[in-house]
Amino acid sequence: MTSIKGVGPRIGASIERAAGAHIADLFWHLPTGLLDRRYAPELRDAEPGRIATLTVRVDAHRPPPAANRRIPYRINCSDETGDIVLVFFHARGDYLEKTLPVGEQRVVSGAVEIFDGILQMTHPDIIAPVAERDQVMQVHPTYPLSEGLSQNVMRRTVAETLERVPELPEWLDPALVAQRGWPRWHEAIARVHAPADFSDLDPNESARQRLAYDELLASQLAIGLVRANTRKRPGLPTVGDGNLRAKAIAALPFELTGSQKRATDDIIADMASDTRMLRLLQGDVGSGKTVVALLAMLNAIEVGRQAALMAPTEILAQQHFATIAPLAEAIGVSAVLLTGRDKGKARQKILDGLAAGDISIAVGTHALFQQDIAFDDLAVAVVDEQHRFGVHQRLLLADKGAAVDVLLMTATPIPRTLMLAFYGDLDESQLTEKPAGRLPIDTRTIPLARLDEVVSAVGRKLAEGAKVFWVCPLVEESENLDLAAATARHAALTEAFGARVGLVHGQLPARDKDAVMERFIGTAAEGPPVDLLVATTVIEVGVDVPDATVMVIEHAERFGLAQLHQLRGRIGRSAKPSTCLLLYGDEPGETARSRLTILRETDDGFRIAEEDLRLRGAGDLLGTRQSGLPEFRLASLENHSELLAVARDDMKLIIDRDPTLDAERGEALRILLYLFERDAAVRLARAG
């Protein structure tokens, strides 16, 4: 940023925080409002409460006494019709004397107000020579800012950046541009940063719509090029005889659901083909994804090859292993658990077994793709809660063997629109049924004013031997405040129930967090048992505690629907009746009320995901910062979902006609991909 005129290291850092680290990020940092500075009355006609641009003569400076810097610096000004006082707090006198010299005229623009019967303007937004009056008297865009940044500096920086923008070749289909009445890219960028009135801020104003389409096309094209490249890389068909799978299904204490059978068939067909599998298995909490993953792994083991399952945390890896190990043992298949805790000889023994092919299944954390780990013949890699891993990490695991098939799993159902936006036409299977014997969760909404009754009810459940989750509220976006809320609740509940109350939060070291969770789950080697777990939202997706039958969520109105559904999914994981209590504060808003109502009405994660998209919009849906999904800067799926379908069709046509982007339009599309930082896709296209 410091290459821009007038931007030093300090301002550059503030601009990076607000907009991003690259010059192109300023193109996409669109105005969210505007200030109309065209109102330019004489002083006697100036209306208090309005933004006004005034031409005044500087009459006198009245600095505060040296002994009391809290008194503001005042400057008396006037025109032929009246007087005004300019007020500055904590001001530098030398700067003001230079900027507003006595006896000269200046243009000042800002909010006019009356104080003690006197017209005044506190900290004018703009102070300029009279010669620049016409430039000041315009409609000025307002931008999202970060600390240490003013609108004037941001506007000046954006204007300076736009002056450098070259004319670029058109990458869009001319017929589409003409049909939609869109401007060329260069004109569109200039227009969105110079709104004349509020209608220009509408997401479907033609210049904004065109840029949103550019972003959607760049995203779809990047996905399409990666998929095309993956499909070109030959796979290694894996066709097992079904012997181990049949034994495992016979050893299960339940029948497979219809959707588990369909998903397994899809995966087995993918593995048998001569292209690499890349499939997403979506299943609501408790729908039985691990069993489907095991059947995929057994298909590989039936032909003498190996399989790996990677989870984002040690607890999740342990839980997958707890499901897989007994079944593997029952049918004579070797399986190991490998996490960061394994050290020395024990770890080396596992590594030797994997390298020699003596171990068929490895379950673990990111420890699985460390450099010193080698498989004899890895056929399939399963990645659980795949959004918690970067693409790079997923590829590292896939590179541990020849033509490894990849199965991605998520317990966070993704709405169709988001699937297309972030994954393109990724092969997908859905588990839509709950295993037999699971009871619906009794979900109730209760005002926080009845907290004492809730604590008493929790006490009764603890006395019956139940385990209870108590989730503390999301406080703004601050981890420290979240922690304070959880710590206070933990102290209050400890007073009521003693040492049976545990606490986990995001700032707890992973080892300490695991130790508390193990005491709650009942697998801890030491420490008293925890029956009531107070937590911020760090309770892991997939944490399986069959004895947990009560979930209390404080200030439930502050959470998103998908997040509430995920939290509720921590209970109801056995045949015991379970209850979820959603505590809400004073008068939740309409959207919050809708969320709580939907949650009471349904436990269908796919319906909940679609409703969440409708209520919150895609930007917030999965908390894109946490989920690893890219955030769109210009497009919004609520406003531009129809354009997403057009971009998808356009992408398919482009890749079909010019897969290496060498034609004239292809060269222009490479510029588009660079602009939106999809450089990796450009390299794939060049690799042919």
Same domain, 407 and 485: no
Q: Indicate whether 351 and 393 sit together in one domain.
A: yes
Q: Is the pLDDT of residue 407 over 60?
A: yes
In whole angstroms, what is the distance from residue 528 CA to residue 539 CA?
A: 20
| Burial grade of 666 (CB within 10 A; 0-12, 13-18, 19 or more) | middle
How far is residue 561's CA from residue 621's CA, in Å, rounded to a whole number? 8
Same domain, 403 and 533: no
pLDDT at residue 620 in the model: 40
Average pLDDT over residues 85-110: 94
H, E, C per residue of 354-418: HHHCCCCEEEECHHHHCCCCCCCCEEEEEEECHHHCCHHHHHHHHCCCCCCEEEEEECCCCCHHH
- In this predicted structure, what is the pLDDT of residue 455? 94
CB contact at 8 A, 189 and 162: yes
- Over residues 589-619, the pLDDT tens digits come to 777 788 888 888 887 777 777 777 777 654 4
Q: Which of 602, 637, 664 is the last residue of a domain?
A: 602
Confidence of residue 493 (pLDDT cuts 50, 70, 90): very high
In-domain check, residue 3: no
Asked whether residue 642 is assigned to any structural domain, the reply reads: no
494 and 348 within one domain: no
Determine whether 151 is exposed, middle or buried from the number of CB atoms within 10 Å of its CB (0-12, 13-18, 19+).
Answer: middle
Close Cβ partners of 384 (under 8 Å, ≥ 6 residues apart): 289, 293, 309, 310, 311, 312, 316, 320, 409, 542
From 137, 154, 170, the end of a domain falls on: 137
Q: At 101, which CATH number?
A: 2.40.50.140
Domain boundary, last residue among 105, 137, 169: 137
Question: How high is the pLDDT of residue 624?
Answer: 34
Whole-number pLDDT of residue 79? 95
Q: In what order do the strands lie in the sheet with 501-504?
A: 442-447, 579-584, 548-553, 467-471, 532-535, 501-504
- Picking from 117, 116, 125, 121, the residue whose alpha carbon sits closest to that of residue 58 is 121
Q: How far apart are CA 581 and CA 196, in angstroms?
A: 49
Q: pLDDT-derived band of residue 132, with 50, 70 and 90 as boundaries?
A: very high
The answer to whether the beta carbons of residues 139 and 63 sit under 8 Å apart is no
Q: Residue 152: which of 124, 133, 122 has the closest Cα?
A: 124
496 falls within a domain:
yes
**In terms of domains, do 474 and 340 share one?**
no
pLDDT digits (tens, 9 = 90+) for 437-472: 677 889 998 998 899 999 999 999 999 989 999 998
Give the mean model confidence (pLDDT) for residues 510-521: 83
Q: Residue 180: phi, psi to the nearest 5?
A: -90, -10
| 167 in a structural domain | no
- Is 446 found in the same domain as 406? no
**Residue 388 in this model has a pLDDT that exceeds 60:** no
The pLDDT value recorded for residue 515 is: 84
Residue 192: what pLDDT?
A: 94
In a domain, residue 461? The reply is yes
Q: Are residues 459 and 596 in the same domain?
A: yes
CATH of the domain at 449: 3.40.50.300
Is 155 part of a structural domain of the chain?
no
Query: What's the average model confidence in pLDDT over 486-497?
Result: 90
Same domain, yes or no, for 399 and 488?
A: no
Any domain includes 63: yes
Residues 376 and 492 in one domain: no
Pairwise CA distance, residues 659 & 136, whole Å: 50
Q: Is the pLDDT of residue 360 over 50?
A: yes
The answer to whether residue 681 scores a pLDDT higher than 70 is no
Q: φ, ψ for residue 463 (rounded to 5)?
A: -65, -25
- Residues 353, 269 contacting (CB under 8 angstroms): no
pTM of the model: 0.64
- Asked whether residue 460 falls in the same domain as residue 528, the answer is yes
DSSP 3-state assignment of 308? strand
Q: Residues 403, 506: one domain?
A: no
Whether 54 shows a pLDDT value over 90: the answer reads yes
Distance in angstroms (rounded) separating the CA atoms of residues 145 and 17: 8
Cβ atoms within 10 Å of 172's Cβ, excluding its own: 20
Q: Which one, of 595, 477, 485, 588, lies nearest residue 536 by Cα?
A: 485
Give the torsion sign (CA, 567, 573, 575, 576): negative
Q: Distance of CA 492 to CAs 487, 495, 498, 530, 639, Å?
A: 9, 5, 10, 16, 45
Burial of 633 by CB count in 10 Å (0-12 exposed, 13-18 middle, 19+ buried)? middle
Provide the domain limits for residue 596: 442-602
Whether 218 contacts 648, CB under 8 Å: no
Highest mean pLDDT among 10-19, 422-431, 573-582: 573-582
pLDDT at 99 over 70: yes
How many Å apart are CA 80 and CA 239, to the nearest integer? 93
Mean pLDDT of the chain: 84
Over 80: is that where the pLDDT of 9 sits? no
- Residue 644: how many other CB atoms lie within 10 Å: 20
DSSP code string of 12-54: HHHHHHHH-SSHHHHHH----EEEE------GGGPPTTSEEEE
Q: Is residue 95 part of a domain?
A: yes
Cβ neighbourhood burial of 605 (10 Å; 0-12, 13-18, 19+) = buried
- How many separate domains does the chain show? 3
Q: Retrieve residue 337's tokens.
A: 């658990």
pLDDT at 687 over 60: no
Q: 586 and 449 in one domain?
A: yes
